[in-house]
Structure 1
Amino acid sequence: MPDQTTTGPSVVSDLGTGGSAAGAGGDGPAGGRRRAGGEYRPSHARSVGHGFFIKLVLVGLVDAAALYGVLAAAAAEQWGIAAFSAFVLVVVTWTYFSKRMLPAKYLVPGLIFLLVYQIFAMAYTGYVAFTNYGDGHNSTKQDAVAAVLAQNEVRVEGSASFPLTVVDADGTLGFAVVRDGVAEVGTAEQPLAPVEGATVTDGKVTAVPGYDVLSFADIVPRQSEIIALRVPFSDDPTQGSIRTQDASTGYVYTPTLVYDAAADTMTDPVTGTVYRPSATGNFVSADGVTLTPGWRVSVGFANFTQFFSDSRINGPFFEILAWTFAFAFLSVATTFALGLFLAIAFNDPRMRGRKIYRSLLILPYAFPAFLSALVWRGMLNPRFGFINEVLLNGAEVPWLTDPWMAKISILLVNLWLGFPYMFLVSTGALQSIPSDVIESATMDGAGKWRVFRSMTLPLLMISVAPLLISSFAFNFNNFSLIFMLTGGGPNFVGTPIVVGHTDILISMVYSVAFESGLKDYGLASALSIMIFLVVGLISYVGFRRTRTLEEI
């Protein structure tokens, strides 16, 4: 009986000749090396393909962007951003050129975006919530001191005027003047200093090496920037700075306040009034006069308690809080009820043309929500809207100007926008319910309502309940509908922030941060954190409750 372990004639022939199979130098197939016992080990040398060069180019682009971020952040002394950019550079390069990091190649991009757009944003919002960051307190104390000194300046009485030329060097504005027959140039950071090679015509500088002389057409679009520019007269800050109002003549201005760095005080040398730093991030005198701008300081939980302690805010705040919960709950309840009703109706095999009806019903879902809200806003206009003028024969129903009618209008419009989604979800869930379960209940004598209440709805909620929770969270922060339809109005009267009866918490955040005149980012961030905690708690409890449905 032949030996079953033999390699066969073809293999013996190949090995015996030592030619094409082994190759020169005893190499095995595909360039491998022969071990003892006739085994071959593949060579680790691989030919470089097109994929390697594509990877090299893509990783090189990412590394170039990260290196640029490192250099730009280091130049601006943003060491945290510089360190993170360097970290991204090292991690990306190591991951995509290491043979041991195959799983990380799929995880690293998502983790980087998670850190930048989620973790960092949440952490920074939390930091801002405990500060007074906003208009008047948007920078450091050093910047605030410089701004206060610059804003409190008066022209030196009897000082000479200087023919002035506005110059530009790589986007940085400066002034060129003639002083004692010598052309001098300076910027906001560099005091006036003589410059060689400048051209002076009729006592005015007309050309400066390294600078572009701005013409009248160049000055007009940058007029506000030029008027705000202050060029130090010399290295001594007490000698003031050169300013201009017409971009052609400069005057010497000196500050009316003197900053003492050792004592950390501002002093008015004329009146002798002393301004000292306060806990609120401003220089304040003994009689309560405050200098602006201030600087960012920590205020603890003051932003959180202001919604409850300030009598001008807590009333509208609690009304907006209650309306937010009501709006989110009623939006989910009404859209789900209508969507489920239509899904059950069109799930009946006896109905003809179901595909056409279903296609028509999802049309509101196909249009962008903010465009639909704008269309409804025009249709609900009390005086010129289609509903009042055409459907109601010229009636003036205050759909968007009365507090209660505006809320009803929002719910109706959101019902029109949201029921197609619930219709699609309910249709899919209904079609996944086993038909034999429903048939068994019917054969046992259960009526249609009993079957729906005890069988269809519990089985439906297993798959739909998580979507209802996510829909509640979405409507809790449905900023676009409120902003586009009513703008939060009609507004409350007598509040320090611009908020209205139809505002929800997220639109209140926008109003506090951007629309209330004095932008208060700290207060807005505190409210954002409160929204996050509320939505997170509701989602957690809701998902815990839905686990009980899985036992059915």
Structure 2
Amino acid sequence: MTDTVETDEATAPPTKRQRQAAQIAEAASGRIGWMLLKILLLAIVDAVALYAVFVLFTHQEWLVLGIVVAVTVLVNYIYFSRKRIPAKYLTPGIIFLVVFQVFTLLYTGYIGFTNYGTGHNGDKDQAISSLLASAQERVEDSPTYPVTVVEQFGTLGLLVTDPESGDASVGTAEQPLQEVDATMEGDKAVAVDGWTTLTFADVLSRSGQIEQLSVQYSDDPNDGAIRTPDGQSGYLYISTLEYDETADAIIDTQTGEVYSDIGTGAFTAEDGTELLPGWQITVGFDNFVRAVTDETIRGPLISVTIWTFAFALISVATTFFLGLLLALVFNNTRMRFRNGYRIILILPYAFPAFLSALVWAGMMNESFGFINQVLLGGAEIPWLTDPVLAKVSVLLVNLWLGFPYMFLVCMGALQGIPEDVNEAAVMDGANPWQIFRRIKLPLLLVTVAPLLISSFAFNFNNFNLIYMLTNGGPRFSDVSIPVGHTDILISMVYKVAFTGQTRDYGLASAFTILIFIVVATISIVSFRKTKALEELN
């Protein structure tokens, strides 16, 4: 009997209090799990922020450091608060929006009003240090300084021991020597807190960087710098250029030539000769003025702009009408195997565009391309090297890449038109052309017009096709920027900023601002015009 009672108690359903206790325990375990996950994620964020703070503090980037600290504190406050529920969902998106969109736009706009580029990358102090370091010569009677190569946050430095006093100092290419308390082995400092001492093997593997390393002896750049050829012994080097802080000028001690700061971001002699590197300054609208007044820039800029508009307009028109034509053909319900044909037609759209462009570039090669050698029986047609044929080739390849998208869009739009409309038009005596022109096309444009505008904006900045197919060539002659006949504005911006011996980020950013204004203006006007089509609905 007792066993039966115990069995009944074991199999009895849980009471209300037991169920409540189980629910509380389950909820508590769930909250603890989410809390641990939140703490782990915030710990990762805080660790990254802490590393960024150390790096920014080392480089004395106070503004960015303050922003990083403020954002990190705000994020921790939001996610540890039991309230602020909407902010917890909005914070990640807002941070990514600000970093990758707002900051990028504002910084690009700022660079467009500066002389930032090759020879003008840093500030004035860095330019002075670089100029003096570039003209350094070893002092003949320089004492030998025992040195140890150290590293901090990826930056190389020298731990230098004064052979007379025995004091230890550490410095980098950007920071002059500063006295520190170091660990000594005999008469040589070998380690210092906060720095990692490089092993002999590391010194050998990075000998090239170490030989180029120049550490200023003091805050006065005219006192020279310590350099080491082997990572063991350092010597004093004095520059043949001397900086006169009172006159704010660089003096060549060998020739006596004086280079003054005349406000152009570089020390300049009376005959106009500049000492580079210079430094970054704000130049206002000079980049925009130079783009329209410098003949070597204005000429290719006008040609590239005209071609960019022509390329975008022709690409949109040809892809749309070919896609519409095919959509009308394959929308006929009496056609057999329609699905198979549709799959074949959208294949160009299924492959990555940059790979397709590379394949077409190979097939259009003048010497061994498939088109010339196989289809045209060994002809030597310069598809990609002749200015006119290269543009035709770009348009043909873009037509091949773009018509499947328009085909799909038009097919969907046509299938969305009620069949009753066609039947009513036929009953009224309209022929197929009238039905298409007066009924189908206007209704089609209601759906397709915004997509045509976005297609124009896409082709206006279709960098992949131009870069992969022709690389912008053939190149213009007698111009100061490396652009060609098939370059569009965006590829020209890329070349001005990242190719050639001189990289002019300021001029490239100015071009980017102009592109943004043009595309934004066209898009706004076009979208306003398309509102008239909505009345057709």
**Which TM class, normalised by the smaller chain length?**
0.7 to 0.9
Question: Do the aligned partners of 2:146 and 2:163 also contact (CA within 8 Å) in 1?
Answer: no
Which residue of the other structure, out of 286, 289, 300, is the alignment partner of 2:270?
286
Q: For residues 402 and 57 of structure 1, do their structure 2 counterparts lie closer, same or farther at Cα, with a shift above 3 Å needed? A: same
Which residue of structure 2 lines up, in the alignment, with residue 116 of structure 1? 99
What SS does the aligned partner of 1:138 have? coil
What is the Cα deviation at residue 438 of structure 1?
Answer: 1.4
Question: Do the aligned partners of 1:159 and 1:251 also contact (CA within 8 Å) in 2?
Answer: no
Q: Tell me, yes or no, if structure 1 residue 57 matches structure 2 residue 40.
A: yes
What is the Cα deviation at residue 426 of structure 1?
Answer: 0.9
Q: For residues 165 and 86 of structure 1, do their structure 2 counterparts lie closer, same or farther at Cα, with a shift above 3 Å needed? A: closer
Q: For residues 251 and 491 of structure 1, do their structure 2 counterparts lie closer, same or farther at Cα, with a shift above 3 Å needed? A: same
Question: Do the aligned partners of 1:198 and 1:209 also contact (CA within 8 Å) in 2?
Answer: no
What is the Cα deviation at residue 506 of structure 1?
Answer: 0.3
Q: Tell me, yes or no, if structure 1 residue 367 matches structure 2 residue 366.
A: no
Q: Tell me, yes or no, if structure 1 residue 529 matches structure 2 residue 527.
A: no
Which residue of structure 2 lines up, in the alignment, with residue 84 of structure 1? 67
Q: For residues 484 and 549 of structure 1, do their structure 2 counterparts lie closer, same or farther at Cα, with a shift above 3 Å needed? A: same
Structure 1: which amino acid aligns with 2:113?
Answer: F
Q: How does 1:53-452 map onto structure 2 within 5 Å?
A: 53-98=36-81, 100-156=83-139, 158-159=140-141, 162=144, 167-170=149-152, 171=154, 172-174=156-158, 179=163, 187-188=171-172, 189=175, 191=177, 197-198=184-185, 208-209=190-191, 212=197, 214-215=199-200, 218-219=202-203, 221-232=205-216, 237-244=221-228, 251-452=235-436
Structure 2: which amino acid aligns with 1:260?
Answer: D
What SS does the aligned partner of 1:378 have? helix
What SS does the aligned partner of 2:291 have? helix
Structure 2: which amino acid aligns with 1:548?
Answer: A
Q: TM-score, normalised by structure 2?
A: 0.86
What is the Cα deviation at residue 161 of structure 1?
Answer: 7.4
Per mean C-alpha deviation after superposition, the further-off stretch among 167-176 and 282-291 is: 167-176
Identity of aligned residues (%): 51
Give the gaps of 5 or more residues in structure 1.
1-19, 24-28, 32-42
Distance 1:474 1:460 in 2: 21
Question: Do the aligned partners of 2:151 and 2:198 also contact (CA within 8 Å) in 1?
Answer: no
Alignment size in residue pairs: 507
Per mean C-alpha deviation after superposition, the further-off stretch among 500-509 and 330-339 is: 330-339
Distance 1:302 1:238 in 2: 34
What is the Cα deviation at residue 458 of structure 1?
Answer: 0.7
What SS does the aligned partner of 1:208 have? strand
What is the Cα deviation at residue 150 of structure 1?
Answer: 1.3
Q: Which has the higher contact order (CA 8 A, sep 6+)?
A: 2
What SS does the aligned partner of 1:525 have? helix
Distance 1:227 1:92 in 2: 44
C-alpha distance after superposition, 1:459-490 (max 9, x if no partner):
11111111110011011001111011100000
C-alpha distance after superposition, 1:224-260 (max 9, x if no partner):
3222212445677544233355667755321222223
C-alpha distance after superposition, 1:358-411 (max 9, x if no partner):
112111111111111111111110001111111111100000000110001011
Structure 2: which amino acid aligns with 1:137?
Answer: H
Structure 1: which amino acid aligns with 2:302?
Answer: F
Which residue of structure 1 lines up, in the alignment, with residue 481 of structure 2? 497
Larger radius of gyration: 1
Distance 2:122 2:535 in 1: 56
C-alpha distance after superposition, 1:49-77 (max 9, x if no partner):
24444344334444444454445434433
C-alpha distance after superposition, 1:32-60 (max 9, x if no partner):
xxxxxxxxxxx9xx846244443443344
Give the gaps of 5 or more residues in structure 2.
1-14
Q: TM-score, normalised by structure 1?
A: 0.84
Structure 1: which amino acid aligns with 2:294?
Answer: D
Structure 1: which amino acid aligns with 2:413?
Answer: A
What SS does the aligned partner of 2:206 have? helix
What is the Cα deviation at residue 139 of structure 1?
Answer: 0.8
What SS does the aligned partner of 2:184 have? coil
Which residue of structure 1 lines up, in the alignment, with residue 12 of structure 2? none
RMSD (Å) for aligned C-alpha atoms: 3.1
Per mean C-alpha deviation after superposition, the further-off stretch among 392-401 and 54-63 is: 54-63
Which residue of the other structure, out of 459, 472, 480, is the alignment partner of 2:464?
480
C-alpha distance after superposition, 1:405-450 (max 9, x if no partner):
0001011111111111111111111111111111111111111110
Structure 1: which amino acid aligns with 2:421?
Answer: V
Structure 2: which amino acid aligns with 1:452?
Answer: F
Distance 1:218 1:101 in 2: 50
